[in-house]
Amino acid sequence: MQRRDPGAPVMCRKSPGIVVSKQLLRERLPYRPLWWRLLRGTEAFAYVLMAPAILTIAVVVLYPTLTAIDISFRRVDIYTPGSARGPFTLTNYARLFGSTAFWQSVQVTLSYMVISVAFALLIGFGTAILLHQRFRGRTLARMMAVLPWAIPPVVAANIWWWILDPSFGLLNWVLLKVGLIKEPVNWIISPGPALAAVSMVTVWKGYPFFVVMTLAGLQAIPQDLYDSAAVDGAGRLAAFLHITLPALRQILALATLLTVMWVFREFAIIWVLTGGGPMRATETLAIMTYTEAFAHFRMGVGAAVGVVTLVISTIASIIFIRQSRKEFY
C-alpha cells in the first residue's frame, strides 16, 4: 500500500473544485496547541466537563473505599494517615468469620432489611394507589404522606423513642385502650420487640420514598392503555395486574434497590433507639462497623465488616438491576 505524500495537494471540502496544498495550509493557518485541539473534539470536551465530578467522586468515594479495603487486610488498632502499617494478612477476616457476633449481625441485618423494605414497599405502594385517585384534599394528603421523609433520622428516632417508651409512651397506651395487649411492652429494652421497634421506625421513615416513586410512575402510564383494556372488557383488577404492575416494574425495582442500600447503611435510627442492643438484638453490620472501629479501636476488623457490607450490597444491586432490565413499552 502506497503512502500518501504529506505535501500532496488536497481538495477543499467547501469548494470541491479548489485544490489546496497541505504546505500552504500549514503556513496560512494559525498554530493551535494540543489542549486546544483536544477541546475542539466533542468527546474530549465532554470528558473535560465531567472531570471535576470524576475527581470529586475519586476523592470522596474511591479513595476512602480503597483505604478501607487496604486496612481490612492489615492489623491496625488506631489508624492515622501516614502511620506505619503491618504486612497484608487475613487475620481480620478469619477473626470476623469465626465470630458468632458477626453472624448474628448478618442475621439481624438481613431480617431488618427484609422487614423494613417489604413493609415500606407495601405501605408506600398502597398509599400511592390511594393518593392517585381524585378526591377533595388530595394535595394536602400527599404532603402529609411524604412528611416523614423530610424529618431528619435523629429527630425521627427521638420522636419514636418517646412514642415507644414502656411507661408513658403513646403506642402502649393506644394498644392497651384497644385491648391488643394486656400489659405495656418494653419495645426498646427487650430483644424481640427491639428489632420490631427499629423496623417500625425505619418503615415510617422510608415508605414516603415509595409513595413518591410510585406516584411518578402512575402518572406516566398513558390513559389510552386503560381505555383500550376497558373496551376489550377488562375489569379494574385485570387492568391493575396486566397494565399497572408491569408498567411500574422498573420503578419499583429501582426504589427497592435504593431502599435496600439505605437500610444496609442505616445507623442513626438504630443507634439513637437501642444502640445495637439489647444483647446485640439490633446490632446490624453498620452498627458493628462503628463499634469495632471506634468503640473497641479495632480499625482492621471494622474495615473488614465494612468491606463485607459492600460486597453484600453490590450483589444485591446486581440482582435487582438484572431483574428490572425488561422493558414494558
pLDDT tens, the chain, 329 aa long:
455 555 555 445 544 544 445 555 555 555 566 666 555 656 666 777 788 888 888 888 888 888 888 888 887 766 555 566 667 888 889 888 988 999 999 999 999 999 999 999 999 999 999 998 888 888 898 889 888 988 998 999 999 999 998 888 889 899 888 888 888 888 888 888 899 999 999 999 999 999 999 999 888 888 888 888 888 887 888 888 888 888 888 888 889 888 988 898 899 999 999 888 888 889 999 999 999 888 888 888 888 999 998 888 888 778 777 766 655 55
DSSP state of 60: I
Please choose, from the candidates 253, 251, 229, 232, the residue with its C-alpha nearest in 3D space to the C-alpha of residue 240.
229
Strands (E), the chain: 9-11, 19-21
- Residue 248's Cα: distance from chain center in Å? 19
3 state SS of 125: helix
Cα distances (angstroms) measured from residue 22 to each of 13, 15, 31, 41: 13, 16, 14, 21
Q: pTM above the 0.75 mark?
A: yes
Please choose, from the candidates 94, 71, 111, 76, the residue with its C-alpha nearest in 3D space to the C-alpha of residue 282.
111
* Class of CATH domain 93-323: mainly alpha
Between CA 186 and CA 183 the distance in angstroms is 10
- Output the nine-digit C-alpha cell for 180: 391488643
Please choose, from the candidates 234, 299, 259, the residue with its C-alpha nearest in 3D space to the C-alpha of residue 72.
299
Q: 51 and 38 in contact (C-beta within 8 Å)?
A: no
